[in-house]
Chains A and B, each alone.
Chain A
Amino acid sequence: MFMSILWTGLVLVSILYGAATGTADAVGAAVMTGAEDAVRFVLGMGGAICLWCGVARVMEDCGMAAALSAMLRPVLRRLFPSASRDAEIMDALSANIGANLLGLGNAATPMGVRAAQGMARHADGKASNELCLLVVINTASIQLLPTTVAALRSACGARCPFDILPAVWLATAVSLASGLLAARLFARFWP
């Protein structure tokens, strides 16, 4: 329902504001050019998206995600002490984080959901601290190579689509740190 309200609201507000400020002509023209732009834009991004999906497939097939997951285990054991006692949950958890880092969305979500289900098994519908942490890490987007955004920038004529990488890494690190800090604080006091 959120999207329906948002979309209808955007259209109505544009019509009203356009009529009130005398930009109605531009609003009328934007309906068609907007749809046209969307096709041009998605087709422009499409090539790069397909290429990087190909690379993602290679990473998956050659076991790169599995190797990364194994490297992550010591860190995860400290963040998830009780989940790491269950080998099955730990496998799903490290596969989830590894796939997230490499940007393998297709592999990350099923693994993360499996880990979440394992953690929730004896929880009675109430999220444990570690389950909350898993969700927070998954909302923080720890992807090392934001290929979709690079494709978007490329479609918009960026000189070097990947030159935002250092900034993305810094922002991701700060985002993850804020999430972990909030988690540490909340876990102590939240009932």
Chain B
Amino acid sequence: MSALASMIAPLILGGVCLFGLLRGTDVFAALLRGAKDGLGVVRDILPALLILFPAIAMLRASGLLDSLAGLTAPALTALGIPAETAPLLFLRPFTGSGAMAAAADIIKNCGADSTAGRTAAVMLGSSETTFYVVSVYFGAAGIKKSRWAIPAAIAADLGCFLASAWAVRLMI
């Protein structure tokens, strides 16, 4: 399992490029163009993270994050969720960059391979910025009455958070 996990990135890299080559795609040119797109992604996320990191670092340094984790710990641990992930749970549906800054803070402080660090990563990787997605889609489609879309999306988020914590504990 762990050998497969460590080989998955090179395998996908090789597999995709072989598939592309067999279908006559100029793979190298596509990789270069994509890497250039990536620079745009980096340029787009840097300003938001640059502004959000100090705010979260201040919150961490003030000791409030730890107190908050202590406060929510009884409820979260009863559900099997590491208390350190509390800030991520609150930010995830509302702000993509805020969630990334919070997750980075948790992963850095608890350790990338710790249970809390892994749980934060899994939560971030298996959820979306719910309210942003809803507003993009309904805004573009001219929808005023969103009916049950938001409650159902929140149900999916809650399922995601619980399952992330359980899956990490199951797999370590």
Contacts and interface: CB of A to CB of B under 8 A. Distances in A.
Contacts of A79: none
Contacts, number: 352
A23 B159 contact: no
For the residues of A in contact with B, the DSSP-based class is: helix
A35 B54 CA distance: 5
A53 B141 CA distance: 28
A152 B100 contact: yes
Give the size range of A's interface with the partner. Answer: 35 or more
B46 A51 contact: no
A50 to B, nearest CB: 3
A171 B156 contact: no
B62 A186 contact: no
For the residues of B in contact with A, the DSSP-based class is: helix
Interface string A158-191: 1111111111101111111111011100110011
A182 B126 CA distance: 18
Contact of B122 (A33, A39, A164): A164
Give the size range of B's interface with the partner. Answer: 35 or more
B152 A136 contact: yes
B86 interface: no
A125 B141 CA distance: 8
B53 A35 contact: yes
B162 A174 contact: yes
Given A3-B95, A164-B118, A17 B62 contact: yes
B89 interface: no
Contacts of B16: 55, 58-59, 62, 64
A153 B112 contact: yes
Contact of A156 (B9, B36, B108): B108
Contacts of B142: 117, 120, 125
Given A31-B57, A31-B58, A50-B39, A56 B145 contact: no
B71 interface: no
B9 A54 contact: no
18 contacts: A23-B62, A35-B50, A35-B53, A45-B42, A51-B38, A54-B34, A59-B20, A106-B37, A126-B145, A131-B141, A149-B124, A152-B121, A156-B117, A168-B125, A181-B155, A186-B152, A190-B147, A190-B148
